[in-house]
């Protein structure tokens, strides 16, 4: 219901934007055809594939000196033999901000929704944030932010509300090297998931992280990040520590070609949750899991308004719990036309 409402609002905003070009920039409308194929250890013995048309509409407006409004809608009708699954996603966001005596402040509210007919996995997720950045010396800044979101899904046990705060110290000696380190805390409350004590489940997470990034020349970018998170819950089965490392590389050597690659590794260590073997029997030890993921994607401008897009991704998981072990790989190829 709410997802439908968001889509209606998005569609109205898009129509408004198209009808009154002076109010914003012309919406960017892209239509295309996409084919995807995937395979993994948990799938059937044959690769799964799907194909179908897609549409993507973006709008951006700068209605006032301090206001920024953006929205997008992405829809597809993937034919996943023998059934067809319409999926769509949409989002709307408003951002405002200004500088007050050297303090840069931003406030943002937004809402995102997605649905996929057939698998009953629609989501509705409003989010809000406040962000303040102050200079500390010539090339350093300190940022304090608060963010929250309500994530409602058609699976009631996954519906939750989350609120968090972060502090980050950033040092940018040059454009080719920026360093940041920070810490944050997040509280998550589930609407319909219960801990062993029959209380609604509540998680508290504390995170320590650092990041390095920079431009190489004018058109290449790199970023690497690492973070350690400790999660404590009123459901002791969810108590865990998580360590994560990420690498992101992108280069656009010409306007006709863009390449991106990402890699990440996540190690999780549960304190009390018992690992289960393939038959579902406890092994008598706590769950340990490592997940490695990587992806590459390429975008080519074949003609001024015609694009060829391809991506490949793979995930590999190792764990003493059989349900967390396995691998999967997926690739897609799309031809897109800008209208």
Partner 1 sequence: MQHRAPVTNTRTARRDGRRTGGRLVVLLVLALVCEGELFAEELDAVLDSSGYAAEERVRIREIHDEARARGIPTTVLVDRIQEGIAKAVPAPRLVAALRDDVLRLETVRSLLDDAVAGERILADPASWERAATLLRAGWPAERLMQLAAICEPRPEAFRAASLLWIAIVDWGASQESAEELTSAAVESGIPDESFPRVASLLVDATRRRVPEPQAVRMIAEALRDGRSLRRIELLFAR
Q: Does 217 bind partner 1 (CB under 8 A)?
A: yes
Q: Does 95 bind partner 1 (CB under 8 A)?
A: yes
Task: Give min distance, CB of 330 to partner 1, in A.
Answer: 20
| Widest pairwise Cα distance in the chain | 66
Which positions ≥6 away from 138 have C-beta within 8 Å? none
Q: Is the backbone of residue 202 left (phi > 0), alpha (psi -120 to 50) or beta?
A: beta
Stretch that binds partner 1, among 5-13, 23-31, 121-129, 181-189 (CB under 8 A): 23-31
Q: Which two tokens stand for residue 323?
A: 């349900």
- How many other C-beta atoms are found inside a 10 Å radius of the C-beta of residue 64? 9
Strand partners, 110: 93, 127
Whole-number Å distance between alpha carbons of 193 and 177: 44
Of the candidates 48, 246, 252, 274, which one interacts with partner 1 according to CB under 8 A?
Answer: 252
Of the candidates 4, 5, 8, 25, which one interacts with partner 1 according to CB under 8 A?
Answer: 25
Of the candidates 38, 40, 75, 97, which one interacts with partner 1 according to CB under 8 A?
Answer: 97
| Residues 257 to 286 in contact with partner 1, rule: CB under 8 A | 258
ω into residue 28 within 30 of 0, thus cis?
no
Provide the CA 293 distance to its chain's centre, in angstroms: 14
Kind and range of the H or E element at 166? strand 160-174
Q: Does 103 bind partner 1 (CB under 8 A)?
A: no
Long-range contacts of 221-225 (CB under 8 A, 24+ apart): 221/248, 221/249, 221/250, 221/251, 222/247, 222/248, 222/249, 222/250, 223/247, 223/248, 223/249, 224/248
Task: Give min distance, CB of 108 to partner 1, in A.
Answer: 9
Q: Would you say 25 or 146 has its CB closer to partner 1?
A: 25
Q: Would you say 127 or 252 has its CB closer to partner 1?
A: 252
Q: Does 338 bind partner 1 (CB under 8 A)?
A: yes
Q: Which two tokens stand for residue 109?
A: 């509210």
Q: Does 213 bind partner 1 (CB under 8 A)?
A: no
Stretch that binds partner 1, among 46-54, 66-74, 228-236, 262-270 (CB under 8 A): 66-74
Q: Does 127 bind partner 1 (CB under 8 A)?
A: no
- x/- mask, partner 1, residues 163-202, rule CB under 8 A, reads -----------xx---------------------------
Task: Give min distance, CB of 132 to partner 1, in A.
Answer: 13
| CA atoms lying within 13 Å on the CB side of residue 158 | 10
Q: Would you say 94 or 329 has its CB closer to partner 1?
A: 94
Q: Would you say 80 or 172 has its CB closer to partner 1?
A: 172
Question: Rounded to the nearest 10 degrees, how much is the dihedral formed by the CA atoms of 148, 154, 159, 165?
Answer: -20
Nearest to 299 by CA among 248, 241, 246, 256: 256
Q: Which two tokens stand for residue 51?
A: 């194909």
Task: Give min distance, CB of 151 to partner 1, in A.
Answer: 18
Of the candidates 72, 124, 190, 270, which one interacts with partner 1 according to CB under 8 A?
Answer: 72
| Residues 299 to 328 in contact with partner 1, rule: CB under 8 A | 299, 301, 305, 307
Using CB under 8 A as the binding criterion, the count of chain residues that bind partner 1 stands at 36
Task: Give min distance, CB of 234 to partner 1, in A.
Answer: 35
Whole-number Å distance between alpha carbons of 213 and 250: 11
Site residues, partner 1 (CB under 8 A): 25-26, 28, 30, 56, 58, 60, 62, 65, 68, 70, 72, 91, 95, 97, 104, 106, 174-175, 215, 217-219, 221, 252-256, 258, 299, 301, 305, 307, 336, 338
């Amino acid at each position: 219901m709410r997802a439908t409402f968001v889509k209606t609002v998005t569609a109205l905003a898009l129509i408004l934007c198209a009808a009154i070009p002076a109010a914003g920039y012309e919406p960017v409308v892209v239509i295309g055809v996409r084919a995807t194929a995937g395979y993994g250890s948990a799938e059937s013995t044959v690769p799964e594939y799907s194909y179908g048309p897609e549409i993507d509409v973006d709008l951006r407006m700068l209605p006032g000196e301090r206001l920024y409004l953006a929205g997008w809608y992405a829809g597809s009708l993937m034919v996943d033999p023998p059934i067809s699954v319409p999926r769509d996603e949409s989002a709307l966001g408003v951002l405002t901000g200004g500088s007050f005596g050297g303090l840069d402040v931003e406030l943002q509210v937004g809402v995102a929704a997605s649905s996929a007919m057939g698998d009953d996995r629609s989501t509705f997720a409003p989010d809000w944030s406040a962000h303040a950045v102050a200079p500390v010396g010539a090339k350093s800044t300190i940022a304090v932010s608060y963010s929250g979101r309500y994530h409602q899904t058609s699976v009631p046990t996954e519906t939750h509300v989350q609120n968090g705060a972060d502090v980050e110290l950033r040092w940018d000696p040059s454009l080719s090297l920026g360093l940041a380190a920070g810490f944050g805390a997040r509280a998550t409350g589930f609407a319909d998931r219960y801990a062993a004590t029959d209380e609604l489940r509540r998680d508290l997470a504390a995170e320590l992280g650092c990041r390095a990034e920079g431009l190489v020349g004018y058109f290449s970018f790199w970023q690497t990040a690492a973070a350690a998170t400790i999660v404590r819950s009123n459901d002791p089965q969810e108590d865990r520590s998580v360590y994560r490392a990420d690498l992101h590389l992108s280069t656009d050597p010409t306007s006709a070609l863009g390449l991106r690659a990402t890699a990440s590794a996540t190690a999780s260590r549960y304190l009390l949750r018992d690992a289960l073997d393939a038959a579902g029997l406890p092994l008598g030890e706590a769950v340990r899991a490592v997940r490695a993921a990587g992806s590459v994607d390429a975008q080519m401008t074949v003609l001024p308004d015609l694009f060829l897009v391809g991506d490949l991704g793979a995930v590999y998981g190792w764990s003493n719990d059989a349900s967390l072990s396995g691998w999967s790989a997926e690739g897609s190829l799309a031809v897109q036309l800008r209208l």
